[in-house]
Structure formats: structure tokens, C-alpha cells
Structure 1
Amino acid sequence: MAGPLTTDTAGTAAPVAKSALARHPALPALTRTGAVLLKRAALLALLLALVFCTVELLPGDAAGATSERGESAADIEQRRRLLGLDRPVLERFWDWMSGLPAGDLGTSARGEPVTGLLSTAFPNTLLLGGLALLLTAVLSTALGCWAALRPGGRVDRAVSGTATAVLALPEFVVAVALVLVLSLWTGWLPAVTLTDLDGNPDSWTMLVLPALALTLPQTGWNVRIVRAALADEARAPHVETAVLDGLPPHRVLTHHVLPGALPTIAAGLATSTGMLLGGAVVVETIFNYPGIGSVLASAVTDRDSPVIAGVTALAGAVITAVLLLADLVRDLMAGGRR
């Protein structure tokens, strides 16, 4: 009796499967995305365990750091038991991890739910980081395309040189320079952020300086990526054909070079997400911005492992989502071009 596939059927099954994948290029991209997601989730779990262990190595603990003046050693020891600090660190980490699937980030050393503590601060950071990412995407793409119109020309050299110089500047140096020029000297923009009753920035003008402080260094980084991606794509055969056909340089750039360079540009911008969230901690502190920067600084002072791990988990989830989206877009565009 013949099996599920006869000889003829078996011979044609592989071509049929290949043609199905050719008609649906998203399928292998989604499969690779799932595998990458599992790897990054495992790396994030390892990072969170490292956070708990690192806080454990700091001098003191949450019970002592959050104690009130005049409390006795017995009171501090009782708080230590209430916080579970008398248990092994890996056991506390496992208890904290078990609440993540339900969205429970644990309780801070001061008795506040970590989810509630971050419910206002983290959206403010996402707003600031999203605005900086949007500005970075627009500025870096525009400058990279401008430089690519005349390779090796004065504009190209000026843009590349300026991008390298700006890339070397840390966010806090850019922030201080922006405060001096746009706030103290000209008075155009506020130097610090005031909040409303809900804990959000009181005016959109208070977002400008923090967003610029994050945008400028990342624009320098991404201009170099855009320029390199455009230069690589300009050597493609279809681009050379378009040039030989006599198309204007700007049309060759926008219709033939830029579309092929977009996957690389998207990957560079996705990489900038982690740098923007990391830089936001410093920039928020300088501008008194109500984001995770102040929450994280207080948590480190309090030796508060659940809060530090909660910030790390949320930031890691955002970075992973953006990187996965960039990988999926790149795979889909590459599959479409094939």
C-alpha cells in the first residue's frame, strides 16, 4: 500500500512548497522573526537576572536605604523580612519573574506597585524618545540624501564631517550646550520641565530641548548609515541603467537608490532606539523631565531591585519590538525584491 506520498507526489511536493513560499515571502520572514524573538526574550531574562544580582552586590540594601531617621536595628530587620530580603536573590528573582506574564512588576521598597509607579513616567519617556526617533529619521535621511546627490562634493564632505563631530558628543554635553544657547542666552525655550497635575510636561515647548539633546548625536550616527547605504545601492545595475537612460539625479535617488537602501536605514534607526532610551535617562535628569530617569535614579539610591528590573523589562520590550519590526520589514522588502 502506498504511503501518504506516492513517487510522483513526493517528486512534486518540494516544488509546490517552494512555489508556495515564493508566493508568500512573509512566511520565512515570520519564521525567522519567531526564532529571533525567542533568543531575545532569553537574553532579556538573563539581563533581568543580572540586574537583581548586581543590585545585591551594592553596599547596603533596600531596608536600610528606605529607613526613617531614628529607626532601630530591630525595625530595619523587620522591614528586611517584610521585603523578603532574607531570602536568596535568585528565589526573589523567580517570584518577580512569575508575575511578568500577568503584567505584575512587583512592589517597590516603599510599598508602591511598580506598575503604577511607571504608568506615568514610562509613557513620558516613550513620548520623548519617539519624538527624538522621528526627528532623527527625518534629519538623517534628508541630510544623507542631500550629500548623496553630489558624491565627494563640498556638501557631501561637510555633512559627513559634521555628522562625525556630532556623533562624538555625549548627550549631556549637547544638553548643556542647548541650555546655554537656546535658554540662558536667548531665552527662547525653558531650561527645565514643569509638570501639570497629572505629572505630564506642562507645555510642548518643554519637550524641545530634551528631544534635540537626544536627536543630534543619533542624527550624526544615522547620517553615516544613510550615506553608506545610498553609496552601496548606487552601484546596483538597475541604478546604473537609470543613470545611462539620462534620468535626473534627484529622480534616480528617490526612485531607484533610496528604496533599495531603506532596509539598512530602518535597521540603523532601530538600533538607535536603545541608545535613545539609554540617553533619555541622562537627558531627563538634566532637564528635570518626568520620565523613567528620575524613577531609576531614586530606585538605585533605594537599592530597589523590582523597580530597576521593571524599568529594564519595559525598555527591553520596547527595544525588542522595534528591532523585530525592523528585521521583519527588511526581510519582507528583500523577499519582494527577489
Structure 2
Amino acid sequence: MAGTLTALRLGGLLARRIALLAVLLALVFVVVEALPGDAADATAARGESAADIARRRVLLGLDQPVVVRFLKWMAGLPTGDLGLSARGEQVWGILAGPLPNTLLLGGLALAITVVASIALGSWAAMRPGSAADRVISASSTVVLALPEFVIAVALVLVFALWAGMLPAATLAGPDGAPASWTMLVLPVLALAIPQIGWNARIVRGALGDEARAPHVTAAVLDGLPPLRVLARHLLPGALPAIAAGVATSTGMLLGGAVAVETIFNYPGVGALLAGAVADRDTPLIAGVVALTGVMITCVLLAADLIRSWAAGERR
């Protein structure tokens, strides 16, 4: 019975998030429609006649109401059809190259965020009120307040221009991926540092709340080693809050990747998205939003499963 209720609750959450994604995609169509000009004008070649532009406008379906175009695009979404771009190319084909690079960048930043935030938050929580606790809390607040592009510029200034240790820009290899792993270091750090600050505070707070639980107090009084108390009693209880923070960071990492990729000339969807906005390329913009939305939804669903599992363990 409990498993059925959990499945129904998670199913309801998934349905609401899918509905929210559909609303977001509809907003993409409306916002691009509100911009001056359209895809036919934006992609017109120099000297192209008005008649040629009008014919391409019909070919792209821009003569139809935005609602009709949105519904047609949504109809192909369940089959994986993201439509044609403003330049007549399959959106899937355009995204096939840069999207894996963005996922690599975001995945590495997320992994570093999880490891570093748990380590720092745990270190601070195991020494409440100590100098380490105060330093970690203060530094977390500072880096959390800094946008990714500010951190990116500072990293370039220190590690690329002053120290000459790492490249300031990314060069793509023959396969379209970064030519060297060293070119990933600064973009990954620029993305991860603000999220480490955010999640370290979440971990610190969650562990601090969990430390007041009776079973944790009993474990301390029994003389268990601090690391065992942390691993066996504190972290499992704090896991739902940590999972929620990581899920939130996933969306923030993917959003921040656009600015970071531009600064480091990284071959991801950031530059592609900027060009799509300039071209008024609604299907391409919506395709990027749809794919990132699906990934964020999956991460949020995983966080919901972790919270449900933790609640079951407590019972």
C-alpha cells in the first residue's frame, strides 16, 4: 500500500513537471514571436529578394499562427522529432555535436560540486563554531553571491594570464570535443565554484539539524568514532536535503553553462543558443530547452526517489 501511494505521488510530481515543461516551451514560442523580425528575415542572404524571403517564410511555416506552429512542433516531440531549424537542418543533427560537450562540462562540474560540498559541509558540521566552520560558511556565502561569468574572468586572469598554467580559451579537436583536458579545467571550476558554495551550506545545515536527532546523540554517547557517526547516522538522514540541493544545482549548472561557454569559447550549446536567438530560430531554441528540461526533470525525479527512500528508512 505504501509503495502504491509513493508511486502515485511520484507520478503526480512527474506529470506536473512535464506540464511545467510544456508551458515553458510554449513561452519560448511566444517570446521569440514577440521579437522584431522572424527567422526568414534573420537568415536572409545579402541581396535576397522579398519574394524569396516570402517563399522561405511559407516553407518554414511562419505564415501560420504561433499556436499552430507550437502544436505541430509538440506533436513531433514524443517521437524525438525536434523539427527543422531556420536554415532547414534537422535540429537533432545540429545538437548532436555540441550537446555532448555541454553535458561533459556540466557533468564534471556537478561531480566536483557533490564531492567538494559534502566534504566541506561535513568538515564544518563536525566542528561547529570552530575557525574551520566560520571560514567555510563565510567563503561559501561569498562564492555563492558571485555570478559564473565573474568567477570565469577571475580564473582566466589568475591561472591563464598571470600564472600561465592553463589555457584561457578552448580549441576543438577533429571530433568537435575540446582538444585537451586542460581546456576543461577553468570552465568546470567556473561552473562548480558557486554551486559548491550553495551546496556546502545545505550540507552544513542538514547535518547540523540531523546532529540533534536522538539516535545521533546516542551514537555519540556510545563513543562511536566521529567518521562512523557521520557516515552511518548523519549523512543518511541529511540525504534528502542534499539530494534536493544537487537537483537544484543541475538546472543552475546548465543555465550557467551558456555564459561560461561563451567566455571560454567552449564548443557547447551556449554559442549555438546565442546564434539561434539571433536567427529567431524557434525550433532550435525550443529543442535546447526541451532536452535540458528533460534532463533536469530526470534529476528532480531521482531526488524525489531518494527522499521517498529516506522517508521509508526512517519509518
Q: What TM-score, normalized to structure 2?
A: 0.98
The one-letter code matched in structure 1 to 2:272 is V
Give the aligned residue type for 1:261: A
Distance 1:289 1:31 in 2: 42
Q: Distance in 1 between matches of 2:242 and 2:278?
A: 39
Letter in 2 for 1:244: L
CA distance in 2, matches of 1:198, 1:120: 8
Question: What is the identity, as a one-letter code, of the residue corresponding to 1:75?
Answer: D
Query: Counterpart amino acid of 1:91?
Result: V
What is aligned with 1:229?
206
The aligned residue for residue 45 of structure 2 is 68
Q: CA deviation at 1:31?
A: 2.1
Contact 2:118-2:200 at 8 Å conserved across structures: yes
**Distance in 1 (alpha carbons) for counterparts of 2:309 and 2:264:** 40
Q: How far apart in 1 are the matches of 2:42 and 2:17?
A: 33
In the alignment, the residues of structure 2 paired with residue 37 and residue 250 of structure 1 have an alpha-carbon distance, to the nearest angstrom, of 37
Query: Is residue 132 from structure 1 mapped to residue 109 from structure 2 by the alignment?
Result: yes
* Counterpart amino acid of residue 177 in structure 1: A
Aligned-partner SS, 2:166: coil
CA 1:119–1:26 in structure 2 vs 1: closer, same or farther (change >3 Å)? farther
1:42 corresponds, among 8, 19, 25, to: 19
Over 4 Å off, 4+ runs: none
Please report how far the alpha carbon of residue 47 of structure 1 lies from its aligned counterpart in structure 2 after TM superposition: 0.7
**Alpha-carbon distance, 1:136 to partner:** 0.2
- Within the candidate set 226, 241, 248, 1:249 is matched to 226
Q: Is the contact between residue 236 and residue 310 of structure 2 (CA under 8 Å) also seen in structure 1? A: no
Match of 1:158 in 2: 135
SS at match of 1:247: coil
Partner of 1:33: 10
Shift, 1:76, TM fit: 1.3
- Tell me the residue number matched to 1:97: 74
Name the structure 1 match of 2:155: 178
Q: Contact 1:175 / 1:213 at 8 angstroms: preserved in 2? A: yes
Further displaced range: 260-269 or 209-218: 260-269
* 1:165-219 deviation line (CA, Å, top 9, x unaligned): 0000000000000111111111111111111122111111111111000000000
1:326 matched to 2:303: yes
- State the Cα deviation string for residues 126-174 of structure 1 (Å, max 9, x = none): 1110100000000000000111111011110010000000000000000
- Whole-angstrom CA distance in 2 between matches of 1:42 and 1:255: 38
Q: Write the letter of the residue equivalent to 2:250.
A: T
Alignment RMSD (CA, Å) = 1.0
Per-residue CA deviation, residues 306-332 of structure 1 (Å, 9 max, x unaligned), is: 000000000100000000011011101
Quote how far apart the aligned CAs of 1:34 are: 1.1
Describe the SS at the equivalent of 1:162. Answer: helix
* Corresponding residue SS for 2:121: helix
Q: Distance in 1 between matches of 2:225 and 2:75?
A: 60
Using the size of structure 1 for normalisation, the TM-score is 0.91
User: Letter of the aligned partner of 1:108 in structure 2?
Assistant: S
Q: Which amino acid aligns with 1:109?
A: A
Q: Distance in 2 between the 1:30 and 1:127 partners?
A: 31
Q: What is the match of residue 294 of structure 1?
A: 271
Opposite residue 44 of structure 1, the aligned amino acid is: L
Question: Residue 133 of structure 1 aligns to which amino acid in structure 2?
Answer: L
Contact 1:183 1:189 survives alignment (8 Å): yes
User: Using the alignment, how far apart are the partners of 2:3 and 2:147 within structure 1?
Assistant: 39
Runs of 5+ unmatched residues, structure 2? none
Q: Distance in 2 between matches of 1:152 and 1:28?
A: 42
Task: Determine if contact 2:169/2:266 at 8 Å carries over to the other structure.
Answer: yes
Percent identity of paired positions between Structure 1 and Structure 2: 68
Shift of residue 26, structure 1, vs aligned partner: 4.3
Rounded Cα–Cα distance in structure 1 between residues aligned with 2:239 and 2:305: 13
Structure 2 match to 1:259 = 236
Letter in 2 for 1:106: G
Residues 27 and 205 (structure 1 numbering): CA distance in 2 closer, same or farther, change over 3 Å?
farther
SS at match of 1:99: helix
Q: Is the 8 A contact 1:29 1:332 kept in 2?
A: no
Contact persistence 1:225–1:268 (CA under 8 A) = yes
Supply the distance in 1 between the matched residues of 2:4 and 2:204 (Cα, whole angstroms). 31
The answer for the alignment partner of 1:192 in structure 2 is: 169
Q: Which amino acid aligns with 1:238?
A: H
